[in-house]
Structure 1
Amino acid sequence: MTAPLQSILGHLEQLVAHDTQNPPRNLNPESSLFATLREALPGFETSIDDGGEGCLGFLATRGTTDTLFNVHIDTVPATDAWTKDPFTLERGNDRAIGLGACDIKGAAACLLAAAAETDAPAAFLFTTDEEAGSSVAVRRFLETSPRYERVIVGEPTQSIAVTRHRGIYAGTLTLAGEAGHASQGGLSAVHEAARFITQALTESWAKDDRLNFGRIEGGIKPNMIAPSCEIQFGLRCMPGENPDPRVERLRVLAGAALETDTTRFWGPALPPADPEARFRQVELNEYFYGLDIEVGSPVDFWTEAALFSKAGLPVAVLGPGDIAQAHTADEFVLYDHLTTAYNAYLKILTDG
């Protein structure tokens, strides 16, 4: 095992040991996690922006640089399907196993190891609220942050630079029925939901735009006609596509039973649909080619990189791990991915 990998795993072990599950997002500026980060970053100036409810941005800077690295260090909750202690890093033959090892504490560990290898200027923004879909920390940072020539967001891309990904829209539809005794028949909100979902999934765009119905809740008991049913859904449109026509089509399909509809979360695609943003991303590809860092195809998952791009900053997603391992029980990251990400981060840091 190489010295850099040993360093990375040492940092990753410490990071995994901190419970940063989101929800419940039980973090505050005094949490021991931040003491760990400060200890790993000697010579850095640090500050914490507290957006409330555990939405924190930890900024660490050394000198002045053109590049900002951003990594979220919150994780999804550990489920009962875990067969190991999720907060104790297990080192296998070719992988490290632990909650957040893939998504995305592995990237944070790579950054900490790379920062120790060079005295080059650096800027790291670690955030705690990505997994709950609020992105308060990044949004607050963008309101007052200095401008950077480029931003690197750590997410599981198998250590390949990605400059395009889908947007995300999450919404809730509530369908109404008429309460009554099931023996008499009548308008059931649950039946209307089943009809609506069946129709929606046959739309020509449903598969391509990753239409997903993630939660359905309604009714009271089997002998009662359901008076209400809530449906939570999501869409992931490609760059340049607007989700609004799709959402409007869903409203039409819901028909007269539609009682309310709300937007839970909307994140733009990377890049947003304007020529200047697309040009910035093309220039960023050239930057990576010049450093001999592999550039990959667009990915289907959404990241907070889109928020940086919308704010006018060239941004790429680059981090160890495979998205197929994110949010899974016994989550792991391959050593090869960690080493490749470390080398890429080190090139970017020393390039300035």
Structure 2
Amino acid sequence: MEIRQLLSRLVGFDTTSRLSNRELIDWVVDYLATLGVAAQLSYSEDGQKANLFARVGSVDVPAIVLSGHTDVVPVDGQAWSSEPFHVVERDGRLYGRGTADMKGFIACALALLPEAVARAERGELVVPLALALSYDEEVGCLGVHTLVADLKRRGEKVAGCIVGEPTSMQPVVAHKGIAHYKVCVTGREAHSSLTPLGVNAIEYAARLITFVRELADREASGGRQVALYDVPYTTLQTGLVHGGIAGNIVPRDCEFLIECRWLPGERHERFIEALQGEAERLLIEMRKVAPEASITVENVVHCPAFEADAASEVRCHVDALCDHAKGSGVAYSTEAGVFQQAGIPAVVCGPGSIREAHRPDEYVEIAQLQACFAWMLHLLDRLSRPGH
């Protein structure tokens, strides 16, 4: 199948993170079976989602892995010009949810596999090529942990991994870590005419949110700066706030979500420790009125920071294929950090722009897909020895 056909099939599966990805995975399993390639699956706890790993070539030689996540972000509330789960071509671009992030890369990898199989059958594929697909990257790199654990359990030999997030086919060799923390503030309800008898959870949450903003401002103005990154310092922000039930009731509960994106080598927990210290100070004040008051801080997402190993086999391949471009560091996170932390060297490189990801009318340029496929063919040449 051509890349356009493969991408259309992949985008046609609504794999928004809140839904199952099993239909897409089952379709890829069937596609691989037509090539004589067996797939290994690993599952989420409820069995509704699956990772896939498939190898072409010897099981005794460490493989180079092409890796992508199958889930996409929601389209709810976004103003799309066309059906988001149907690929539409306009002006040299293919529009649809996931075209850039990152089903375009997966389509290129699937299109490459017939040639990889043919070379393996002729004995030319010296270094095996593998495909890895994961679930729930968009909600915290959840599935890749299960995938990596399964690879280790089965003793799969892996030399390195290319994570195909949209980078305009330029290498990304470092990225920040990301953590989300849910903060729950519990005060005491009261009639709004008797506010001194209550403890307003929203107001105390606001004081903590302001404290987080102050931490962020200090990092921006006086924290560690690394010029490699598009945003060169550690950032913090509050992304969600929920609280209260009526305008005339002192709110008992308020919950908010804070995010930290930290540079490799940083210890991001120090911000949470500072936040917890501020919470303890506020609790003394709250409990003078409501002894039952509480503030809890829970880690709900953790994706490690990433720095590529300059001496790794996969980095050498990518460096050569990208004309020894310097490589960049980025503020967004990928599954590369999880692979690297597990001892699997990684580099991030894929078609499309991260600027188009998560937006209405998401698209990938056809020229980018063509460049990615040509790049993968050159990679396959590096893994092969004609007539071997």
Give TM-score scaled by structure 1 length.
Answer: 0.88
Q: CA deviation at 1:237?
A: 0.3
Rg larger in structure:
2
Change (3 A) 1:280 1:310: farther
Which of 4, 13, 27 matches 2:8? 13
8 Å CA contact 2:21–2:70 kept in 1: the answer is: no
8 Å CA contact 2:309–2:315 kept in 1: the answer is: no
Which has the larger displacement, 341-350 or 32-41?
32-41
8 Å CA contact 1:55–1:137 kept in 2: the answer is: no
Residue by residue over 1:105-145, the C-alpha shift from the partner in whole angstroms, topping out at 9 and shown as x without a partner, is 00001111222344344210112222232235434334325
Q: CA deviation at 1:306?
A: 0.7
Correspondences of 1:1-352 after superposition (within 5 Å): 7-24=2-19, 26-28=20-22, 31=23, 33-36=25-28, 38-39=30-31, 42-53=35-46, 54-64=48-58, 66-81=63-78, 82-118=80-116, 119-120=118-119, 121-133=128-140, 134-135=142-143, 136-144=145-153, 145-186=155-196, 187-203=199-215, 204-205=218-219, 208-254=233-279, 255-257=281-283, 259-271=295-307, 278=309, 280=311, 284-293=314-323, 294-352=325-383
Q: CA deviation at 1:202?
A: 2.3
Residue by residue over 1:22-79, the C-alpha shift from the partner in whole angstroms, topping out at 9 and shown as x without a partner, is 112x243xx3652345326613222322233333111222213530111111111222
Aligned partner of residue 20 in structure 1, secondary structure: coil
Q: 2:26, 2:278 → 1: CA distance?
A: 48
User: Which amino acid is 1:247 matched to?
Assistant: I
Residue by residue over 1:266-295, the C-alpha shift from the partner in whole angstroms, topping out at 9 and shown as x without a partner, is 111003xxxxx75556x7544423334545
Question: Number of residue pairs matched?
Answer: 338
Gaps of 5+ in 2: 120-127, 222-232, 284-293, 384-388
Change (3 A) 1:280 1:256: farther
Q: 2:310, 2:173 → 1: CA distance?
A: 11
8 Å CA contact 1:59–1:125 kept in 2: the answer is: yes
Aligned partner of residue 239 in structure 2, secondary structure: strand
8 Å CA contact 1:173–1:261 kept in 2: the answer is: yes
Q: CA deviation at 1:210?
A: 2.3
Q: 2:173, 2:340 → 1: CA distance?
A: 10
Identity of aligned residues (%): 29
Q: 2:377, 2:111 → 1: CA distance?
A: 9
8 Å CA contact 1:88–1:98 kept in 2: the answer is: yes
Q: CA deviation at 1:189?
A: 0.9
Which has the larger displacement, 51-60 or 66-75?
51-60
User: Which amino acid is 1:138 matched to?
Assistant: L
- CA RMSD, aligned part only? 2.3
Q: 2:365, 2:29 → 1: CA distance?
A: 23
Residue by residue over 1:155-198, the C-alpha shift from the partner in whole angstroms, topping out at 9 and shown as x without a partner, is 11111121211001111111222211222223311011122212
